[in-house]
Chain A
């Protein structure tokens, strides 16, 4: 019987948020990554970018302050912080591809030890997949962090030697936050830098197929 407890989505978001330093420009993807915005301390100036042309995005509005013209790339109503600006869609993705964002945090299906990411389709035969902006973000930001559960609900491994799902981008992931561990992707492969209390490297190793190194 396992004597460790996975981090919750909120704990995971808070953990990633605590690692984002003041001054970074950051894009937060759909899902748990979006939650990270709620845990960045308000006195820490981090500039949030949204693909639909917002630089300086703030939190969700109070109902009476909702502006129907202001949504983020996840179709959620948001606010602006002081100093915010708008761009058109092409310039916004130019900012992404041009390596002007310090960080993008994406959800993931699989991460490989060489940094390959799969997060948009579970099969080559998916006839009408949704890509959105994930491929542009994955090749463009200075660093990519992935937040995902360590295994699928059915226990399938996601920390792999090579991805089996179609790739979003090659060799792009720098760090993975799972509900069980924080793992850096380095030249020598996966390096575990944090684990939930009670977890051993041996336990964690059994939940993925790529070798794990200790920091």
Chain B
């Protein structure tokens, strides 16, 4: 019998090595696997490369991981959002490497990683500073930039419902980076708000087939914080 549920966040995070590339899904605190990021902080792996849309906000989650000096490199589209104080401090000291990526290119690099496409040409960034140092090619009259796929040693995902095979459904805008992150992890770890019996999720509604998922932990943490801009 396939059963990917583990009993605790600590069990879910077991074995993550120093130097790992960790994809953290979520956007604007919605669909963000906060319990797993906290678990990664507890677990202790360091020298991490973190792939996330931002460099974190406030002093929680990815921001705290950076603040505790555990991240060697961050790959993101927004390094400097309001409240990214911990990133600012660590970056000012020169203790973190930053790779800034257009948001659509970031999503596509992760998608390509999960789909076995090692690199792709995209018009995004053509003719801009971001093309510098990268291979470019004019295709159909437009300068396109060669972008490398991103594959995670680990991918951290939040689902709304999961069954024991790892079939996943997301809630509202909580889908965001989660399906592509789930597919791009060598070790894909899911925290789910709700547990479904196998067969309860109808085939038409499953967004992420369980084949992509390795470990699931039930974290009924409730609604994400209401965003105040």
Instruction: Please classify how large the interface on chain A is, using the bins under 10, 10 to 19, 20 to 34, 35 or more.
Output: 35 or more
With contacts A131-B102, A135-B102 taken as known, whether A88 is within 8 angstroms of B227 at the C-beta atoms is no
With contacts A71-B227, A97-B123, A131-B77 taken as known, whether A136 is within 8 angstroms of B104 at the C-beta atoms is yes
**Closest Cβ of chain A: how far from B69's Cβ, in Å?**
18
A129 to B225, Cβ gap below 8 A?
Answer: no
A133 closest partner in B (C-beta): B103
A133 to B104, Cβ gap below 8 A?
Answer: yes
B28 to A52, Cβ gap below 8 A?
Answer: yes
**A155-182 with Cβ < 8 A to chain B:** 166-170
Query: Which residues of chain B are near A201, meaning CB under 8 Å?
Result: none
**Closest Cβ of chain A: how far from B226's Cβ, in Å?**
5
Residue A124 at the B interface, CB < 8 A? yes
B227 to A76, Cβ gap below 8 A?
Answer: yes
Query: Which residues of chain B are near A167, meaning CB under 8 Å?
Result: 127-129
Query: Which residues of chain B are near A128, meaning CB under 8 Å?
Result: 79-80, 87-88, 91, 98, 100
How many A-B pairs have beta carbons closer than 8 Å: the answer is: 152
A69 to B100, Cβ gap below 8 A?
Answer: no
B79 to A130, Cβ gap below 8 A?
Answer: yes
Query: Which residues of chain B are near A74, meaning CB under 8 Å?
Result: 229
Give A68 to B224 CA distance when docked, in angstroms: 6
Cβ 8 A contact of B126, one of A51, A69, A124, A139: A139
B226 to A69, Cβ gap below 8 A?
Answer: no
Cβ 8 A contact of B177, one of A86, A89, A130, A136: A89
Q: Mark B145-183, 1 if CB is under 8 A from A, else 0.
A: 000000000000000000000000011111111111000
Residue A75 at the B interface, CB < 8 A? yes
With contacts A67-B172, A71-B30, A128-B80 taken as known, whether A96 is within 8 angstroms of B226 at the C-beta atoms is no
A131 to B180, Cβ gap below 8 A?
Answer: no
Query: Which residues of chain B are near A96, meaning CB under 8 Å?
Result: 104
Query: Which residues of chain B are near A71, meaning CB under 8 Å?
Result: 27-28, 30, 173, 227
B28 to A75, Cβ gap below 8 A?
Answer: yes
The residues of B with any CB-CB pair to A shorter than 8 Å are: 27-28, 30-31, 77-81, 87-88, 91, 98, 100-105, 107-108, 110-111, 122-130, 142-143, 170-180, 207, 223-227, 229
Q: List 21 A-B contacts (CB under 8 A).
A: A53-B175, A66-B226, A69-B172, A70-B30, A70-B173, A71-B227, A89-B107, A89-B175, A93-B107, A93-B108, A97-B124, A129-B80, A129-B100, A130-B79, A132-B77, A134-B102, A135-B130, A137-B104, A139-B126, A140-B104, A170-B128
The residues of A with any CB-CB pair to B shorter than 8 Å are: 51-54, 66-77, 86-90, 92-94, 96-97, 121, 124, 127-137, 139-140, 166-170
